[in-house]
A = this chain, B = another copy of it.
Protein backbone atom coordinates (compact mmCIF):
# COMPACT_ATOMS: atom_id res chain seq x y z
CA UNK A 1 0.00 0.00 0.00
CA UNK A 2 2.73 2.38 0.95
CA UNK A 3 4.59 1.25 -2.09
CA UNK A 4 1.57 1.68 -4.27
CA UNK A 5 1.05 5.17 -2.97
CA UNK A 6 4.51 6.19 -3.98
CA UNK A 7 4.09 4.78 -7.41
CA UNK A 8 0.82 6.52 -8.04
CA UNK A 9 2.02 9.85 -6.78
CA UNK A 10 4.41 10.02 -9.65
CA UNK A 11 3.12 11.00 -13.04
CA UNK A 12 2.81 7.77 -14.96
CA UNK A 13 4.63 6.83 -18.11
CA UNK A 14 8.29 7.06 -17.20
CA UNK A 15 10.18 3.85 -16.58
CA UNK A 16 9.68 4.26 -12.86
CA UNK A 17 12.56 2.50 -11.10
CA UNK A 18 10.19 1.01 -8.54
CA UNK A 19 12.52 -1.01 -6.44
CA UNK A 20 12.45 -4.69 -7.22
CA UNK A 21 12.29 -7.00 -4.26
CA UNK A 22 13.44 -10.50 -3.73
CA UNK A 23 9.76 -11.48 -3.95
CA UNK A 24 9.49 -10.26 -7.50
CA UNK A 25 12.51 -12.25 -8.49
CA UNK A 26 11.21 -15.34 -6.72
CA UNK A 27 7.81 -15.05 -8.36
CA UNK A 28 9.25 -14.54 -11.84
CA UNK A 29 11.65 -17.40 -11.37
CA UNK A 30 8.97 -19.64 -9.96
CA UNK A 31 10.90 -20.41 -6.79
CA UNK A 32 10.68 -19.44 -3.15
CA UNK A 33 12.37 -16.28 -2.04
CA UNK A 34 14.60 -18.32 0.21
CA UNK A 35 16.17 -19.85 -2.87
CA UNK A 36 16.84 -16.42 -4.26
CA UNK A 37 18.35 -15.44 -0.94
CA UNK A 38 20.62 -18.46 -1.09
CA UNK A 39 21.82 -17.47 -4.51
CA UNK A 40 22.47 -13.90 -3.42
CA UNK A 41 24.56 -15.10 -0.53
CA UNK A 42 26.35 -17.85 -2.41
CA UNK A 43 24.96 -20.38 -0.02
CA UNK A 44 24.65 -24.07 -0.85
CA UNK A 45 21.30 -25.76 -1.07
CA UNK A 46 20.34 -24.72 -4.58
CA UNK A 47 20.73 -26.88 -7.66
CA UNK A 48 23.14 -25.52 -10.22
CA UNK A 49 20.26 -25.27 -12.62
CA UNK A 50 18.06 -23.19 -10.38
CA UNK A 51 21.03 -21.14 -9.30
CA UNK A 52 21.99 -20.11 -12.79
CA UNK A 53 18.38 -19.45 -13.74
CA UNK A 54 18.01 -17.12 -10.79
CA UNK A 55 21.37 -15.50 -11.48
CA UNK A 56 20.37 -14.80 -15.06
CA UNK A 57 17.05 -13.36 -14.01
CA UNK A 58 18.60 -11.07 -11.45
CA UNK A 59 21.10 -9.90 -14.02
CA UNK A 60 18.38 -9.25 -16.54
CA UNK A 61 16.20 -7.36 -14.10
CA UNK A 62 19.16 -5.47 -12.72
CA UNK A 63 18.07 -6.60 -9.31
CA UNK A 64 20.22 -5.43 -6.41
CA UNK A 65 19.13 -6.73 -3.01
CA UNK A 66 18.33 -4.02 -0.51
CA UNK A 67 21.29 -3.33 1.72
CA UNK A 68 18.88 -1.90 4.25
CA UNK A 69 16.89 -5.08 4.62
CA UNK A 70 19.94 -7.30 4.61
CA UNK A 71 21.51 -5.08 7.22
CA UNK A 72 18.54 -5.41 9.53
CA UNK A 73 18.10 -9.11 9.03
CA UNK A 74 21.74 -10.03 9.47
CA UNK A 75 22.66 -7.24 11.87
CA UNK A 76 25.54 -6.45 9.57
CA UNK A 77 25.73 -3.07 7.91
CA UNK A 78 28.01 -3.75 4.95
CA UNK A 79 29.84 -0.61 5.89
CA UNK A 80 33.50 -0.26 6.81
CA UNK A 81 34.96 2.74 8.56
CA UNK A 82 38.32 4.27 7.70
CA UNK A 83 39.16 6.34 10.74
CA UNK A 84 42.00 8.81 10.72
CA UNK A 85 43.31 12.11 11.96
CA UNK A 86 46.12 12.24 9.46
CA UNK A 87 46.74 15.66 7.91
CA UNK A 88 48.34 14.12 4.83
CA UNK A 89 45.40 14.04 2.45
CA UNK A 90 47.23 12.15 -0.28
CA UNK A 91 48.07 9.34 2.12
CA UNK A 92 44.52 9.04 3.37
CA UNK A 93 42.99 9.14 -0.08
CA UNK A 94 45.32 6.51 -1.41
CA UNK A 95 44.45 4.20 1.46
CA UNK A 96 40.79 4.97 1.01
CA UNK A 97 41.01 4.04 -2.64
CA UNK A 98 42.71 0.74 -1.95
CA UNK A 99 40.10 -0.04 0.68
CA UNK A 100 37.21 1.03 -1.53
CA UNK A 101 38.23 -1.23 -4.37
CA UNK A 102 38.44 -4.40 -2.33
CA UNK A 103 35.46 -3.52 -0.17
CA UNK A 104 33.37 -2.87 -3.26
CA UNK A 105 34.14 -6.31 -4.61
CA UNK A 106 32.80 -7.79 -1.42
CA UNK A 107 29.69 -5.63 -1.35
CA UNK A 108 30.91 -3.20 1.27
CA UNK A 109 31.17 0.57 1.22
CA UNK A 110 33.83 2.57 3.01
CA UNK A 111 33.06 5.54 5.22
CA UNK A 112 36.04 7.82 5.61
CA UNK A 113 35.79 9.41 9.00
CA UNK A 114 38.10 12.22 10.04
CA UNK A 115 38.25 11.95 13.82
CA UNK A 116 37.87 15.38 15.34
CA UNK A 117 39.71 16.77 18.30
CA UNK A 118 43.27 17.27 19.44
CA UNK A 119 43.31 15.71 22.88
CA UNK A 120 43.32 11.94 22.84
CA UNK A 121 40.14 11.85 24.91
CA UNK A 122 38.27 13.95 22.39
CA UNK A 123 39.44 11.75 19.57
CA UNK A 124 38.45 8.67 21.49
CA UNK A 125 34.97 9.98 22.14
CA UNK A 126 34.51 11.12 18.59
CA UNK A 127 35.51 7.73 17.26
CA UNK A 128 33.38 5.80 19.71
CA UNK A 129 30.39 7.90 18.82
CA UNK A 130 31.09 7.40 15.16
CA UNK A 131 31.37 3.66 15.62
CA UNK A 132 28.06 3.53 17.47
CA UNK A 133 26.19 5.79 15.05
CA UNK A 134 27.53 4.43 11.82
CA UNK A 135 27.36 0.83 12.94
CA UNK A 136 30.24 -0.23 10.72
CA UNK A 137 31.10 -3.91 10.49
CA UNK A 138 34.73 -3.07 10.96
CA UNK A 139 37.16 -0.24 11.37
CA UNK A 140 40.46 0.52 9.70
CA UNK A 141 42.64 2.65 11.94
CA UNK A 142 45.22 4.88 10.28
CA UNK A 143 48.33 6.37 11.80
CA UNK A 144 48.84 8.29 13.95
CA UNK A 145 45.66 7.05 15.63
CA UNK A 146 46.75 3.47 15.15
CA UNK A 147 49.84 4.21 17.21
CA UNK A 148 47.95 5.07 20.33
CA UNK A 149 47.89 1.91 22.40
CA UNK A 150 45.24 3.19 24.76
CA UNK A 151 42.96 4.18 21.91
CA UNK A 152 43.35 0.89 20.11
CA UNK A 153 42.72 -1.10 23.26
CA UNK A 154 39.68 1.01 23.98
CA UNK A 155 38.17 0.49 20.58
CA UNK A 156 38.91 -3.20 20.61
CA UNK A 157 36.82 -3.44 23.76
CA UNK A 158 33.88 -2.11 21.74
CA UNK A 159 33.68 -5.48 20.02
CA UNK A 160 34.15 -3.88 16.62
CA UNK A 161 36.54 -5.73 14.33
CA UNK A 162 39.64 -3.63 13.94
CA UNK A 163 42.68 -3.50 11.71
CA UNK A 164 45.52 -1.12 12.42
CA UNK A 165 47.40 0.31 9.48
CA UNK A 166 50.98 0.89 10.59
CA UNK A 167 50.84 1.53 14.28
CA UNK A 168 53.29 0.44 16.87
CA UNK A 169 54.78 -2.97 17.14
CA UNK A 170 53.60 -4.02 20.55
CA UNK A 171 51.27 -6.97 20.66
CA UNK A 172 47.79 -5.65 21.29
CA UNK A 173 45.89 -8.64 20.03
CA UNK A 174 44.55 -6.39 17.30
CA UNK A 175 45.13 -7.20 13.67
CA UNK A 176 47.68 -5.06 11.92
CA UNK A 177 49.14 -4.25 8.52
CA UNK A 178 52.45 -2.50 8.55
CA UNK A 179 55.75 -1.90 6.81
CA UNK A 180 59.22 -3.10 7.53
CA UNK A 181 60.83 0.30 7.71
CA UNK A 182 64.18 -0.51 9.15
CA UNK A 183 65.88 -2.01 6.08
CA UNK A 184 64.79 0.93 3.95
CA UNK A 185 66.12 3.42 6.47
CA UNK A 186 69.40 1.54 6.70
CA UNK A 187 69.61 1.73 2.92
CA UNK A 188 68.75 5.41 2.93
CA UNK A 189 71.31 6.41 5.53
CA UNK A 190 73.97 4.21 4.02
CA UNK A 191 73.56 5.99 0.73
CA UNK A 192 74.16 9.27 2.51
CA UNK A 193 77.21 7.85 4.25
CA UNK A 194 78.60 6.72 0.93
CA UNK A 195 78.26 10.25 -0.34
CA UNK A 196 80.60 11.23 2.47
CA UNK A 197 78.22 12.85 4.91
CA UNK A 198 79.29 12.84 8.53
CA UNK A 199 77.11 15.50 10.12
CA UNK A 200 73.48 14.45 10.31
CA UNK A 201 70.34 15.90 11.80
CA UNK A 202 67.05 14.11 12.36
CA UNK A 203 63.64 15.70 12.27
CA UNK A 204 60.84 13.59 13.69
CA UNK A 205 57.18 13.91 14.52
CA UNK A 206 56.15 13.99 18.16
CA UNK A 207 58.93 12.57 20.32
CA UNK A 208 56.51 10.08 21.84
CA UNK A 209 55.23 8.96 18.46
CA UNK A 210 56.07 5.37 17.76
CA UNK A 211 56.89 5.85 14.12
CA UNK A 212 59.24 8.66 15.00
CA UNK A 213 60.98 6.56 17.61
CA UNK A 214 61.32 3.65 15.21
CA UNK A 215 62.72 5.80 12.46
CA UNK A 216 65.07 7.66 14.75
CA UNK A 217 66.51 4.53 16.22
CA UNK A 218 67.04 3.03 12.77
CA UNK A 219 68.97 6.13 11.77
CA UNK A 220 71.08 6.23 14.88
CA UNK A 221 71.81 2.51 14.63
CA UNK A 222 73.40 3.03 11.25
CA UNK A 223 75.35 6.05 12.38
CA UNK A 224 76.48 4.32 15.54
CA UNK A 225 77.87 1.53 13.40
CA UNK A 226 80.30 3.99 11.82
CA UNK A 227 82.15 4.17 15.14
CA UNK A 228 81.87 7.90 15.43
CA UNK A 229 82.83 8.65 11.86
CA UNK A 230 79.33 10.04 11.34
CA UNK A 231 77.19 11.64 14.02
CA UNK A 232 73.71 12.92 14.71
CA UNK A 233 74.40 16.55 15.55
CA UNK A 234 70.83 17.57 16.19
CA UNK A 235 67.50 15.91 16.82
CA UNK A 236 64.25 17.85 16.63
CA UNK A 237 60.65 16.81 17.05
CA UNK A 238 57.78 18.44 15.19
CA UNK A 239 54.32 17.14 14.47
CA UNK A 240 54.55 15.68 10.95
CA UNK A 241 53.25 18.90 9.38
CA UNK A 242 54.85 21.09 6.76
CA UNK A 243 54.71 24.00 9.19
CA UNK A 244 56.79 22.18 11.77
CA UNK A 245 59.31 21.17 9.12
CA UNK A 246 59.59 24.78 8.05
CA UNK A 247 60.19 26.01 11.56
CA UNK A 248 62.54 23.29 12.76
CA UNK A 249 64.36 23.14 9.45
CA UNK A 250 65.23 26.80 9.81
CA UNK A 251 66.31 26.12 13.36
CA UNK A 252 68.62 23.27 12.39
CA UNK A 253 70.17 25.23 9.54
CA UNK A 254 70.78 28.11 11.88
CA UNK A 255 72.00 26.20 14.89
CA UNK A 256 74.21 23.70 13.07
CA UNK A 257 75.66 25.10 9.86
CA UNK A 258 77.86 22.00 9.73
CA UNK A 259 74.95 19.66 9.17
CA UNK A 260 74.94 18.40 5.61
CA UNK A 261 72.22 15.74 5.78
CA UNK A 262 68.79 16.11 7.34
CA UNK A 263 66.74 12.95 7.63
CA UNK A 264 63.04 13.65 8.17
CA UNK A 265 60.39 11.28 9.42
CA UNK A 266 57.92 12.24 6.71
CA UNK A 267 57.69 14.14 3.44
CA UNK A 268 55.67 17.06 4.68
CA UNK A 269 58.37 17.97 7.15
CA UNK A 270 61.09 17.31 4.59
CA UNK A 271 59.32 19.71 2.24
CA UNK A 272 59.26 22.25 5.03
CA UNK A 273 63.00 21.85 5.49
CA UNK A 274 63.66 22.23 1.77
CA UNK A 275 61.41 25.27 1.68
CA UNK A 276 63.19 26.81 4.67
CA UNK A 277 66.59 26.18 3.13
CA UNK A 278 65.75 27.58 -0.29
CA UNK A 279 64.08 30.63 1.18
CA UNK A 280 67.36 31.34 3.00
CA UNK A 281 69.42 30.71 -0.11
CA UNK A 282 70.82 27.43 1.19
CA UNK A 283 71.35 25.11 -1.74
CA UNK A 284 69.72 21.69 -1.76
CA UNK A 285 71.41 19.27 -2.33
CA UNK A 286 74.63 21.29 -2.79
CA UNK A 287 74.97 22.47 0.77
CA UNK A 288 72.55 20.17 2.55
CA UNK A 289 70.81 16.96 1.51
CA UNK A 290 67.29 16.21 2.73
CA UNK A 291 65.26 13.02 2.88
CA UNK A 292 61.62 12.37 3.65
CA UNK A 293 59.41 9.36 4.25
CA UNK A 294 56.15 8.09 2.69
CA UNK A 295 56.76 9.14 -0.89
CA UNK A 296 53.84 11.52 -0.91
CA UNK A 297 53.16 13.28 -4.22
CA UNK A 298 54.64 16.34 -2.60
CA UNK A 299 58.06 14.69 -2.44
CA UNK A 300 58.13 14.40 -6.19
CA UNK A 301 56.55 17.78 -6.85
CA UNK A 302 58.97 19.94 -4.89
CA UNK A 303 62.06 21.30 -6.54
CA UNK A 304 64.39 19.67 -5.93
CA UNK A 305 62.38 16.45 -5.68
CA UNK A 306 62.82 14.81 -2.31
CA UNK A 307 64.35 11.38 -1.75
CA UNK A 308 61.88 9.31 0.19
CA UNK A 309 60.75 5.84 1.23
CA UNK A 310 57.78 4.40 -0.56
CA UNK A 311 55.20 2.19 1.11
CA UNK A 312 52.80 0.10 -0.97
CA UNK A 313 49.91 2.04 0.50
CA UNK A 314 47.17 0.89 -1.79
CA UNK A 315 48.12 -2.75 -1.50
CA UNK A 316 48.27 -2.42 2.27
CA UNK A 317 44.79 -0.94 2.33
CA UNK A 318 43.46 -3.65 0.07
CA UNK A 319 44.95 -6.32 2.27
CA UNK A 320 43.69 -4.58 5.39
CA UNK A 321 40.13 -4.89 4.13
CA UNK A 322 40.60 -8.56 3.35
CA UNK A 323 41.99 -9.15 6.80
CA UNK A 324 39.19 -7.17 8.38
CA UNK A 325 36.56 -9.24 6.64
CA UNK A 326 38.17 -12.61 7.17
CA UNK A 327 36.80 -14.03 10.41
CA UNK A 328 39.19 -16.98 10.28
CA UNK A 329 42.25 -14.85 10.89
CA UNK A 330 43.34 -14.66 14.54
CA UNK A 331 42.91 -11.38 16.35
CA UNK A 332 46.64 -10.89 16.53
CA UNK A 333 47.24 -11.45 12.83
CA UNK A 334 49.99 -9.18 11.55
CA UNK A 335 51.18 -8.67 7.99
CA UNK A 336 54.30 -6.82 7.12
CA UNK A 337 55.03 -5.21 3.76
CA UNK A 338 58.34 -4.09 2.36
CA UNK A 339 59.15 -0.52 1.46
CA UNK A 340 61.80 0.92 -0.80
CA UNK A 341 64.01 3.97 -1.08
CA UNK A 342 63.18 6.31 -3.94
CA UNK A 343 66.23 8.43 -4.55
CA UNK A 344 65.78 11.88 -6.04
CA UNK A 345 67.62 15.17 -6.49
CA UNK A 346 67.41 16.25 -2.86
CA UNK A 347 70.17 13.77 -2.19
CA UNK A 348 72.10 14.57 -5.33
CA UNK A 349 70.55 12.29 -7.91
CA UNK A 350 70.94 13.86 -11.33
CA UNK A 351 68.87 11.77 -13.68
CA UNK A 352 65.13 11.88 -13.47
CA UNK A 353 63.90 8.73 -11.81
CA UNK A 354 60.18 9.21 -11.67
CA UNK A 355 57.43 8.83 -14.06
CA UNK A 356 55.50 11.84 -12.86
CA UNK A 357 52.37 10.61 -14.52
CA UNK A 358 51.96 8.29 -11.58
CA UNK A 359 49.07 9.36 -9.52
CA UNK A 360 46.77 8.00 -6.94
CA UNK A 361 43.81 7.39 -9.18
CA UNK A 362 45.57 5.89 -12.10
CA UNK A 363 43.91 8.32 -14.48
Query: Interface on A for B, CB 8 Å cutoff?
Result: 17, 62, 64, 66-69, 71-72, 75, 77, 79, 85, 87, 89-90, 92-94, 96-97, 100-101, 104, 107, 109-114, 116, 118, 130, 132-135, 158-159, 239, 241-243, 246, 268, 271-272, 274-275, 278-279, 297-298, 300-304, 356-357, 359-361, 363
**Other contacts beyond A68-B71, A89-B360: 11, CB < 8 A:** A89-B93, A89-B94, A96-B112, A101-B116, A109-B134, A112-B112, A118-B363, A242-B356, A275-B301, A298-B298, A303-B303
In the complex, residue of chain B having the shortest beta-carbon distance to the beta carbon of A239: B363
Given contacts A97-B114, A243-B356, A303-B303, contact A361 B134 (CB under 8 A): no
The residue that A110 contacts in the complex, of B111, B118, B359, with Cβ under 8 A, is: B111
Please report the C-alpha to C-alpha distance between residue A132 and residue B246 in the assembled complex, in whole angstroms: 46
Given contacts A89-B89, A359-B241, contact A68 B77 (CB under 8 A): yes
The residue that A71 contacts in the complex, of B72, B113, B356, with Cβ under 8 A, is: B72
| Interface hub of A67, A68, A92, A159 (most chain B Cβ within 10 A) | A68
Complex contact B75–A100 (CB within 8 A): no
How far does the Cβ of A267 sit from chain B's closest Cβ, in whole Å? 10
How far does the Cβ of A274 sit from chain B's closest Cβ, in whole Å? 7
Q: Chain B residues near A275 (CB, 8 Å)?
A: 301-303
How far does the Cβ of A183 sit from chain B's closest Cβ, in whole Å? 28
Complex contact B107–A301 (CB within 8 A): no
Please report the C-alpha to C-alpha distance between residue A302 and residue B116 in the assembled complex, in whole angstroms: 28
Given contacts A110-B112, A135-B68, contact A271 B89 (CB under 8 A): no
Q: 18 A-B contacts, Cβ less than 8 Å apart?
A: A17-B158, A68-B68, A68-B72, A79-B109, A87-B361, A100-B112, A109-B133, A110-B111, A110-B112, A112-B112, A118-B363, A241-B357, A241-B363, A242-B356, A242-B359, A268-B301, A279-B303, A303-B303
The residue that A359 contacts in the complex, of B158, B243, B271, B300, with Cβ under 8 A, is: B243
Complex contact B243–A357 (CB within 8 A): yes
How far does the Cβ of A295 sit from chain B's closest Cβ, in whole Å? 14
In the complex, residue of chain B having the shortest beta-carbon distance to the beta carbon of A296: B89
How far does the Cβ of A260 sit from chain B's closest Cβ, in whole Å? 19
Complex contact B302–A301 (CB within 8 A): yes
Complex contact B66–A135 (CB within 8 A): yes
Q: Chain B residues near A104 (CB, 8 Å)?
A: 130, 133
Please report the C-alpha to C-alpha distance between residue A24 and residue B112 in the assembled complex, in whole angstroms: 32
The residue that A361 contacts in the complex, of B17, B72, B85, B272, with Cβ under 8 A, is: B85
Q: Chain B residues near A159 (CB, 8 Å)?
A: 17
